[in-house]
């Protein structure tokens, strides 16, 4: 009887926890997901406006200066971006609520003028910030505060990318490589699904790519995927290194933030005149051509790296994940054309591979592949993601990310990323 009573009490305690997280995850999903959808509408508007008005490129210096002045006015000149959110989950560091309007507005300004950046950086930052605010309002303890931050990240990621499965896994996986924060599974699922349902209700449909010409899986095609993954790992390392080095050296060369962002704005405008505007903003139309049609300008992945490194190194705000999608898709498409092996499939696999290499998040990469491309090419995505994860080493977009367990052997390493 004592055992039955104890089991009953434990089940009752777990049910209480479930009810608690149902309530607070839904609240967070509504708040962070709503902010994410507002961000999506704003991004779509400024992107459309920029594409119809080529003169907006000349706003780059002004937008850059406004971004610097906004962060200076809020006392966050040394903002660490998404690294701040990752650190807050692993430590007691707090995320200011001011992060939400700052990253929201500054990312919109970056895209209005044509800076090459993503959108997930903003989503993760304002999602984490709003999650932290919910936890602070309801006086959560330190452990629950970390979970509610992950809920905010899941909700915002789900709303912005419309990939609810990947949105659940990414916050749990990205903080400490080799460890999954499963205590946050149910809360993140509820927050992500809540944001997803709100998006569907408002007519914001999930993104899908039409991968065509998927060959039958055999040894030959598996070898091609391994070769593609090797190059994806190399590109991932190069992209991470160039991003970090540019941010370091640009600060050394031009300590004055306003001067720095003004000079590199002029450089970006010049590059737009030389190479065109395909590399501005998100570049989703180029990604779609690569995956849906198997067509690509061969140096596109190199030019996207160049534009993104200069944009983010100069001090503009945004994310690095969508640029990594662009880089992976265009490189994969090029490789497929050169190898004579389904450029569309290689673009999709390359997109997943480079994303995995720069974030060290293989499970998220697989879920994103399934949600964006469907299940038909599952074996190809699996090989590329797995091999890229192993070969990309300890490099990462996020300096705050920890490699807890080795990628090549079951060994605890607890190493900082490079």
Shared fold status for 2-201 and 219-416: yes
Task: Give pLDDT, residue 2.
Answer: 60
- Among 48, 412, 18, 61, residue whose Cα is nearest residue 259: 61
Task: Give pLDDT, residue 384.
Answer: 98
- For CA atoms 298, 54, 246, 358, the dihedral sign is negative
Task: Give pLDDT, residue 1.
Answer: 57
Please report, for the chain, the start and end positions of each structural domain, with discontinuous segments joined by +.
2-201, 219-416
- Among 63, 119, 118, residue whose Cα is nearest residue 304: 118
Structure tokens at 313: 């190194």
Strand pairing class (402-405; 412-416): antiparallel
* Cβ partners under 8 Å of residue 399, min gap 6: 83, 244, 416, 417
CATH superfamily placement of domain 219-416: Clc chloride channel (1.10.3080.10)
- Among 135, 109, 139, 132, residue whose Cα is nearest residue 122: 109
- Among 238, 162, 230, 149, residue whose Cα is nearest residue 195: 162
Enumerate residue ranges in the chain where pLDDT < 70.
1-2, 5, 77
Contact 199, 33 (CB under 8 A): yes
Task: Give pLDDT, residue 99.
Answer: 83
For domain 2-201, the CATH architecture is Orthogonal Bundle (1.10)
Task: Give pLDDT, residue 151.
Answer: 96
- Among 356, 369, 321, 322, residue whose Cα is nearest residue 211: 369
Question: What would the pLDDT profile of 363-395 be if each residue is shown by its tens digit?
Answer: 999 999 999 999 999 999 999 999 999 999 999
Tell me how far CA of residue 139 lies from CA of 25, 187, 261, 316, in angstroms: 15, 17, 40, 34
């Amino acid at each position: 009887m004592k055992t039955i009573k104890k089991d009953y009490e434990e089940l009752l305690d777990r049910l209480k926890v479930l009810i608690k997280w149902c309530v607070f995850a839904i609240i967070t999903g509504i708040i962070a997901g709503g902010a994410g959808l507002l961000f999506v509408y704003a991004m779509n508007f400024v992107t459309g406006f920029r594409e119809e008005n080529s003169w907006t490129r000349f706003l780059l210096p002004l937008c850059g200066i406004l971004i610097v002045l906004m962060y200076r006015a809020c006392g966050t000149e040394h903002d660490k971006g998404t690294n701040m959110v990752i650190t807050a989950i692993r430590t007691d560091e707090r995320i200011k609520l001011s992060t939400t309007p700052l990253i929201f507005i500054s990312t919109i300004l970056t895209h209005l003028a044509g800076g090459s950046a993503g959108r997930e950086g903003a989503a993760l930052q304002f999602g984490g910030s709003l999650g932290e605010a919910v936890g602070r309002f309801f006086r959560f303890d330190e452990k629950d505060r970390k979970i509610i931050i992950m809920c905010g990240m899941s909700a915002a990621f789900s709303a912005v990318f419309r990939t609810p499965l990947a949105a659940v896994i990414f916050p749990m996986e990205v903080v400490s490589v080799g460890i999954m924060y499963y205590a946050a599974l149910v809360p993140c699922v509820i927050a992500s699904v809540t944001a997803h349902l709100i998006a569907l209700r408002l007519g914001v449909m999930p993104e899908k790519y039409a991968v065509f010409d998927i060959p039958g899986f055999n040894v030959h095609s598996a070898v091609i995927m391994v070769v593609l993954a090797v190059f994806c790992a190399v590109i991932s390392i190069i992209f991470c290194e160039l991003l970090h080095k540019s941010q370091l050296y640009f600060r050394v060369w031009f300590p004055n933030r306003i001067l720095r962002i003004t000079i590199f704005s002029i450089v970006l405008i010049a590059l737009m005149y030389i190479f065109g505007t395909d590399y501005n903003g998100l570049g989703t139309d180029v990604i779609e051509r690569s995956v849906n049609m198997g067509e690509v300008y061969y140096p596109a992945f190199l030019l996207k790296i160049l534009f993104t490194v200069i944009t983010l190194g100069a001090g503009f705000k945004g994310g690095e994940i969508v640029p990594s999608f662009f880089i992976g898709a265009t490189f994969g498409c090029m490789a497929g054309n050169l190898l004579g092996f389904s450029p569309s499939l290689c673009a999709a696999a390359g997109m997943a591979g480079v994303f995995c290499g720069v974030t060290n998040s293989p499970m998220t990469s697989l879920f994103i592949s399934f949600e964006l491309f469907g299940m038909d090419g599952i074996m190809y995505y699996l090989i590329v993601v797995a091999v890229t994860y192993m070969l990309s080493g300890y490099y990462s977009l996020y300096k705050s990310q920890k490699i807890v367990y080795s990628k090549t052997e079951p060994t605890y390493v607890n190493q900082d990323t490079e």
